[in-house]
Amino acid sequence: MFHPKIADIAATRHILKTFDLRASKRLGQNFLIDSSVVQRIVDAAEIAAGDEVLEIGPGIGTLTQGLLEAGANVTAVELDKKLPAVLEKTLEGYENFKLVQGDILKVDIEKLMPPNFKVVANLPYYITTQILLTLLEKKLPVTKIVTMVQKEVAERMTAAPNSKIYGAMTVAVQFRADVKVAFEVPPESFLPRPEVTSAVVVCDVRESPFKVVDENFFIKVVRASFGQRRKTLVNSLVGAGFNRQKVSAALEVSNIASDRRAETLSIEDFVNLSNELLKSL
């Protein structure tokens, strides 16, 4: 069957017109119109025939088509109720495609996907962080997460300690994955154009090399530490309800000076601190 390429401005305009659709700002709809970007995402995800892929927000099927052409089995979750009818047409004839209409933050991904799946997505920017943290914190059997995000988010995901952009999200992502920015994508590659530059980030998910006793508690400590960025770590943790003496003792055992701020701590420091704090509970 002949499939015209969806990743093209004329094809995208034609599809939107045919189905009387307008890109929804509320749902973060910026459709890719650059086929080279689609190909580079497929390449960054190292898609091989038979790969199981979860796509978040297929839209009108642009990236989906690239994944399907590379031989992936794609399960896509799309919130917009208008899009299943569109995808039925734009991806007509592809047999290895399954669509679930729903909210990615609510569907049971574990039930939906077989083990060793990849996530590939041009994410809706209004919930990027929530989606990434959900994927990583649920400890799903996912091997690779390749996502288009705002450039600023990509920078936060890959930040090193001692920078303003190093935060709770950085630690949560790097705790579970090796993260790198694959390439940047300009606003012209989308319809409509977003106001920001985007970037594709590759997360290679691995067993964490860090020895955390209780992961939920670790995340709680990290979030509390960054809760009030202008305060010292001690004051942020006390402000979040931790006992001052216990925090001071845990910092001392972990070799972390009491006047440090959260953004100066390495992931290892947070691991040691949370393990010590947990002992004192």
Residue 27 lies near ligand SAM (rule: CB under 6 A): yes
Per CB under 6 A, which of residues 124..153 are in contact with ligand SAM? 124, 127
CA-nearest of 136, 139, 79 to 106 is 79
Cα 66 to Cα 221: distance, rounded to the nearest angstrom: 41
- Considering the complex, state which of residue 137 and residue 215 has its C-beta at the smaller distance from ligand SAM: 137
Q: x/- contact string, 65-104, with ligand SAM (CB under 6 A)? A: ------------xxxx----------------------xx
C-beta of 221: minimal distance to ligand SAM in Å? 28
In the complex with ligand SAM, which residue's Cβ is closer, 76 or 221? 76
Neighbours of 5 (CB within 10 A): 12
CB atoms closer than 10 angstroms to residue 229: 12
Quote the least distance from Cβ 157 to ligand SAM, whole Å. Answer: 17
Cβ 168 vs Cβ 223: under 8 Å: yes
The answer to whether the Cα torsion of 33, 34, 40, 43 is positive or negative is positive
Positive or negative, the CA dihedral 195, 200, 206, 210 is negative
Number of residues this chain uses to bind ligand SAM (CB under 6 A): 22
9 binds ligand SAM (CB under 6 A): no
Q: Residue 115 CB, nearest distance to ligand SAM (Å)?
A: 22
Residue number of the CB atom closest to ligand SAM: 57
Q: Residue 79 Cβ, how far from ligand SAM at the closest point, in Å? A: 4
Is residue 76 classed as helix, strand or coil in its secondary structure? strand
Which residue, 103 or 110, has its beta carbon nearer to ligand SAM? 103
Contact between 63 and ligand SAM by CB under 6 A: the answer reads yes
Residues with Cβ within 8 Å of 88's Cβ and at least 6 positions away in sequence, in order, are none
Q: How far apart are CA 40 and CA 146, in angstroms?
A: 11
Q: Which amino acid is at 31?
A: F
- 65, 75, 90, 122: residue in contact with ligand SAM (rule CB under 6 A): 122
Which stretches of the chain bind ligand SAM, using CB under 6 A? 27-32, 56-59, 62-63, 77-80, 103-105, 122, 124, 127
